[in-house]
Amino acid sequence: MSSASAKAQATAAVNNVLSLVLPGSAKIDHNSTKRQNNSKGSKAQLINANLKKAVRVRERDAHSIKKREQRNRRKLQRARQLAEDKVDQQAKLDILRKHREEDSLTAKERKFLNKVINKNVRDLKSWDVDAEELHELQESVLRNTSQRSSLQKRKRKQRRDDFDESKKPVSGDHRYPGLTPGLAPVGLSDEEDSDEE
């Protein structure tokens, strides 16, 4: 018994190692003692097939690694380009500021400066609108949550009141001192109609 379980564990370990080293390789069956080479082909063919599978897996992995590296390179390149553009823009603005202070702006520089100013003003106005919209959104969320919570409170109170009403007895309390429950006093009948007479 122990030798069979040990053999099964060893076979499983070998299969795990083979799957790590040669992905897609055929697993070893621990139940069969003889190899069935006739149905699968010769050992050389099996080795060749396993190597081809391993090469395909490596190529696929290499392709995905290349794609990932290309994506990272593109991200870095975009970040560098943005940083360079920002530095260039700042240098241009410094030159324009210096020319404006010296009153030596050309028509082209004045036009560019006006465009930059208009763009900055537009951006600032759009930020103000966003702040207003954000404030309105916050107010509407607060209104909705307060309405929702008050509605939930009303429903809870209504359910409690309904429960309390259903708990109350339908008829009044007809207790008389000295009598056991369910017995009427002497001279009165159990019927309610006789009370009206």
Contact 188, 195 (CB under 8 A): yes
Assessment of whether the complete model's pTM goes beyond 0.85? no
For the chain, what are the domain ranges?
10-25+40-105, 107-164
User: Is the pLDDT score of 46 beyond 50?
Assistant: yes
Neighbouring C-alpha atoms within 13 Å toward the C-beta of 105: 17
**pLDDT one-digit tens code per residue, 137-189:** 888 888 877 877 787 888 889 988 888 777 665 565 556 666 666 666 666 66
CA-based R_g, the chain, Å: 45
Of 49, 15, 44, 46, residue with least CA distance to 29: 15
C-alpha–C-alpha distance, residues 22 and 58, integer Å: 10
Residue 70: how many other CB atoms lie within 10 Å? 10
Contacts 24+ apart (CB under 8 A), 54-61: 54/22, 54/23, 54/24, 54/25, 56/24, 57/23, 57/24
C-alpha–C-alpha distance, residues 85 and 91, integer Å: 10
**pLDDT one-digit tens code per residue, 62-107:** 888 889 999 999 999 999 999 999 999 899 888 888 888 888 888 8
